[in-house]
Structure 1
Amino acid sequence: MDGTAVRRPGDLRAAERLRTDRGLPATAADGRRRPRAAPATPRADGVFPRADPGVGAALGARRLAAADRTQPSPPAGVRRRRAARTARARLLRCAAVTLPTAPRLVLACGAAQLLLLAGVAGLDARVATVPFLWLLGGASLAYVAALLLLARGEHGTRRQLAACLLIAVAGRVVLAGAAPIASDDVYRYLWDGRVQRHGYNPYAAAPADPALEALHTADTRRIDPTSAVLPAIYPPGAQLFLRVVTGIDESVAAIVAAVVACDLLVMLLLWRWLAASGCSPWWVLVYAWHPLPAVEGAAGGHIDLLGTLLVLAAAVALQARRTLAAALALAAAFSVKFLPLVLAPLLWRRVRVRDAVAAVALVALLYLPFFDGSLLPIGSLPQYAAQWRFNGPLFAWIEAGAGTAAAFALAVGAGLAVSAAARARLPATAPEAWAWPLAATVLLLPTVYPWYLVWLVPFLTAPRTWPLLVWTLAAPLTYIVWASRAAGAGWVLPVWVEPVEYGLLAAALAAAWLARRRAGSSAARAAS
């Protein structure tokens, strides 16, 4: 023996099986390794043939089959549950491929809303009140469905967002072609602008004044008789706006076009505000698709859209630390309607003293053309405060117990108090800091028309403001007053309207409070 180990045939077979199981190259009969197979070459069609799985793969398959045979068969109930789970998984895989994505469903909601608003444009709320409300309610449901889809967080591309905004613009165009269909305030706007152009003071010129009969046109004769005996009520910023618009074209279409321009600028500013705040730009649809601004702006021509634009401009400027622009924008909004006064605490120690002085100077400058030394330019504001009552149940309750002056003081004080609390606790970029002070005051006013709530809509992009979103969608129920008036009941709401409107608001507030309480309890348990 020369010391060389002699391998027996059994040893060679065992080594061969071991190498094959491990996926190594096989050996020849003489103990040498067999050369690896040459790489596969593609066929004429360019497809590589499938490789032979080899002995190791076949052996592994046989072992798995043997293991399966050794395990007991599961009970019939288990097999049925497994089959059901498999079927559900296949169904979900098919649905993921065939069902539309959330952005496409949002677009479908927008298309449905556009069709419903087109139906609204074909009706006059003063005549066909009930069909008007049904179609407007359908548009509101489509809007809510779109918001629920957006809340899932599946937002689309810029092109899809642009398509959504085009739907919003198309809705405005359709409604503007039929204006006015929900209010006759636009005729009063024409009068106020017209008398200024003829050299009269609108705070002293009532439409029913016989001395001004020659100034009337076919449109201004449509002013409601109950308000025709009173001079202008809107502040000087609104009056100058109306004078400029009627100077360009003295028509309903011109005023509606100017208001719609303000409406579109609100969308642009809101998009910029969301982008600067780090929010998804898709939340601009909270305003763009809300039926209230579309109907009250394009179909009603209400100048509240001008004030809304200026308040939002103040918020955007304050976020950008342009303090002078923020102060001037809020002052200009106050000169359109007095409501933004309650937002003044939000600027406390966020603007410089000279910015505040400039804002006060702007308001005084706007009043100057209407001051003649003997007449305080407030128009018919005292008469409206003393006589006009509509959809203000809280004011009526407070007035009955404490008097008119106390009720007005509480309305203004509530807005200022909420604004001061928001200034102390929230940043200037928080939408709820702007929405809740306005809502607190409007809630306590003696007259709450639907267009008064337009001021809130740009700031309803935060979850804490969603109870107010419910209110803005419920407020158009008050248009049923046109049906009451046509039936001879006068300008009085049916008894069920206010409980439904404010009951929905109360339910939304309660639901929001419970949700926050549960979230706080869950966070406390997780921390412990």
Structure 2
Amino acid sequence: MHTARNETVTLLSLWGALFVLYGVSLYFKCDSHFKLLLVAAFAFRLIGLGTLPTLSDDIYRFIWDGRLLAHGYNPFLYLPSEILATDIATQAGLTEALFQKLNSPHYYTVYPPLLQGWFVLSTTWGGLNELATAFWLRLPIVLGELGTCWWLYRLLNLTGKDEAATKRGVLLYALNPLVIVELTANIHYEGLTICFLLAGLYLYKKQKDFPSATFLGLAAGVKLLPLIFLPALIDQANWRKSLLYFSVVGGVFLLPFLFFFDPIIVENLSASLDLYFRRFEFNASWYYLLREFGTLILGYNPIATIGPFLALVAVSLILFFSWSRRIKLSLPERWLFALTAYLLCATTVHPWYVVPLIALSALSRFKFPLVWSVVLPLTYVAYGQVPYHENLWIVALEYLAVGGWMVWEVREKISSSKQQKKQ
């Protein structure tokens, strides 16, 4: 909680120690100490509940947006850099000190209205005290994590696993250091998204379509990413059912936008998302390879072309994993590979982006996301100098480890499946 991200040696040592404890906890019959380990997992999440994150500065945009909205100004309409020296900033308590902590002051906010509503409540209850505001911003994430473990337990029971395997699956997620640090400690709302997503999945399997669609709409309302999971839910034998289901998802997702309605919002939000794909780059895989080839041939960084191209590749792969009947995958596994394809095609992959994969891996036969969680903290080496600079050898090591393990697992499952058919 108190280690800065530029303290590389200390930071990586702490990450290493946490993952050793994680491995030991899972190795020695963790199911027999399930309640104790689950309590420990949430005790870790409560540590520093009212402290400021040291490994991420996203919180300051949450505070900026919340204060702006609390004073009646639509955060989707104003660039921080444009209003800093205006009366708007003065009225809302948007200071120069807060502005200097923003990581994207020249971009319109990309946080959906559902989150904006919580930002305004947190900044209202926390006032100008950033520590108090951090407490309120963290609270729904902690509650979401409780919900995630509950839904994981119920989903694993649905698959017919025995009690020991079910408890182990829950602890694979609950005790993972990357999950704890990146969600609760660093205040990232993937924790809330995962909870809603798993609730929607459980209710979908129980054939409770309306509440399932409602939860998936809420998941997309927190983070846009769950929208990539919708193609796998299309019932090709019953299009009317699918249309009704997606109508509910769309209604729940879009309803909060009505409170912020302004034609320019679509333009501003689209501009920020477009810049995300065309300018931002961090810890990418295929993109970095294409960038090197493109730069060698063209003489400049072709991100403006490669970004959209990889986005199209990602869409194609997502549809393939969602609809292909040639590959025998459960619904969580289809989601797992759809999200993996998206991340491998992305120009930016921050550590917390991978956390939903860890939840899905607990419901699947594939555990390569756990390997990814172990090597991801190495990306913090980039912040060991100012301005930050990535070590591409570390990035290569990360993706070779993850890709190698994934390929091995896929081959093992295919081989195992063929042997079962022969028998």
Report the TM-score when normalising by structure 2: 0.84
**Residue 213 (structure 1) aligned to one of 64, 89, 103:** 89
Residues 302, 352 of structure 1: alpha-carbon distance in 2 compared, 3 angstrom cutoff: same
Residues 248, 506 of structure 1: alpha-carbon distance in 2 compared, 3 angstrom cutoff: same
Higher relative contact order (CA 8 A, sep 6+): 2
Residues 216, 207 of structure 1: alpha-carbon distance in 2 compared, 3 angstrom cutoff: farther
Q: How does 1:340-355 map to 2 (within 5 A)?
A: 340-349=226-235, 351-355=241-245
Establish whether residue 395 from structure 1 lines up as the match of residue 287 from structure 2: yes
**Residue 257 (structure 1) aligned to one of 124, 136, 139:** 139
Q: Distance in 2 between matches of 1:363 and 1:467?
A: 31
Tell me which residue corresponds to 1:241: 118
Tell me which residue corresponds to 2:193: 307
Establish whether residue 358 from structure 1 lines up as the match of residue 248 from structure 2: yes
Deviations 1:301-357 (A, max 9, x none): 111212122211211111221111222222222222221121012221285432221
**Residue 228 (structure 1) aligned to one of 93, 97, 105:** 105
Aligned residue type for 1:124 = T
Q: Distance in 2 between matches of 1:276 and 1:179?
A: 39
Q: How does 1:60-99 map to 2 (within 5 A)?
A: none
Deviations 1:87-143 (A, max 9, x none): xxxxxxxxxxxxxxxxxxxxxxxxxxxxxxxxxx3x323242321121112211222
Q: How does 1:272-421 map to 2 (within 5 A)?
A: 272-279=154-161, 280=163, 281-282=166-167, 283-349=169-235, 351-376=241-266, 378-379=268-269, 380-398=272-290, 400=294, 403-421=306-324
**Residue 496 (structure 1) aligned to one of 393, 396, 400:** 393
Q: Distance in 2 between matches of 1:463 and 1:333?
A: 20
Residues 364, 497 of structure 1: alpha-carbon distance in 2 compared, 3 angstrom cutoff: same
**Residue 194 (structure 1) aligned to one of 67, 72, 76:** 67
Residues 340, 495 of structure 1: alpha-carbon distance in 2 compared, 3 angstrom cutoff: same
> 2:173 is paired with a residue of what secondary structure?
helix
Residues 440, 268 of structure 1: alpha-carbon distance in 2 compared, 3 angstrom cutoff: same
Residues 162, 422 of structure 1: alpha-carbon distance in 2 compared, 3 angstrom cutoff: farther
Kindly state the Cα deviation for residue 495 of structure 1 after the two structures are TM-superposed: 2.6
Tell me which residue corresponds to 1:131: 10
1:165, 1:288 within 8 Å by CA — same for their partners in 2? Answer: yes
Kindly state the Cα deviation for residue 382 of structure 1 after the two structures are TM-superposed: 2.4
Aligned residue type for 1:420 = W
Establish whether residue 173 from structure 1 lines up as the match of residue 46 from structure 2: yes
Q: Distance in 1 between matches of 2:405 and 2:193?
A: 27
1:314, 1:330 within 8 Å by CA — same for their partners in 2? Answer: yes
5+ unaligned residues in a row in structure 1: which ranges? 1-120
2:61, 2:102 within 8 Å by CA — same for their partners in 1? Answer: no
5+ unaligned residues in a row in structure 2: which ranges? 128-132, 295-301
Kindly state the Cα deviation for residue 370 of structure 1 after the two structures are TM-superposed: 1.9
Kindly state the Cα deviation for residue 441 of structure 1 after the two structures are TM-superposed: 0.6
Q: Distance in 1 between matches of 2:413 and 2:14?
A: 34
- Of 340-349 and 219-228, deviating more is 219-228
Deviations 1:439-463 (A, max 9, x none): 2111211100001111212111256
Q: Distance in 2 between matches of 1:179 and 1:144?
A: 28
2:382, 2:390 within 8 Å by CA — same for their partners in 1? Answer: yes
> 2:254 is paired with a residue of what secondary structure?
helix
Kindly state the Cα deviation for residue 376 of structure 1 after the two structures are TM-superposed: 1.7
Residues 289, 365 of structure 1: alpha-carbon distance in 2 compared, 3 angstrom cutoff: same
Aligned residue type for 1:275 = N
Aligned residue type for 1:408 = A
Q: Say what the alpha-carbon RMSD is for the aligned residues.
A: 2.7
Residues 420, 484 of structure 1: alpha-carbon distance in 2 compared, 3 angstrom cutoff: farther
1:196, 1:202 within 8 Å by CA — same for their partners in 2? Answer: yes
- Of 368-377 and 453-462, deviating more is 368-377
Kindly state the Cα deviation for residue 517 of structure 1 after the two structures are TM-superposed: 5.2
Report the TM-score when normalising by structure 1: 0.68
Q: Distance in 1 between matches of 2:214 and 2:363?
A: 26
Residues 411, 224 of structure 1: alpha-carbon distance in 2 compared, 3 angstrom cutoff: farther
Q: Distance in 2 between matches of 1:480 and 1:124?
A: 13
Q: Distance in 1 between matches of 2:121 and 2:6?
A: 32
> 1:493 is paired with a residue of what secondary structure?
coil
1:484, 1:494 within 8 Å by CA — same for their partners in 2? Answer: no
Aligned residue type for 1:140 = F
> 1:228 is paired with a residue of what secondary structure?
coil
Compare the two structures and name the one with the higher helix fraction: 2
Kindly state the Cα deviation for residue 163 of structure 1 after the two structures are TM-superposed: 1.0
Could you tell me the percent identity over the aligned residues? 27
Q: Distance in 2 between matches of 1:511 and 1:381?
A: 35
> 2:365 is paired with a residue of what secondary structure?
helix
Kindly state the Cα deviation for residue 518 of structure 1 after the two structures are TM-superposed: 4.9
> 1:417 is paired with a residue of what secondary structure?
helix
> 1:203 is paired with a residue of what secondary structure?
helix
Tell me which residue corresponds to 2:130: none
Aligned residue type for 1:268 = W
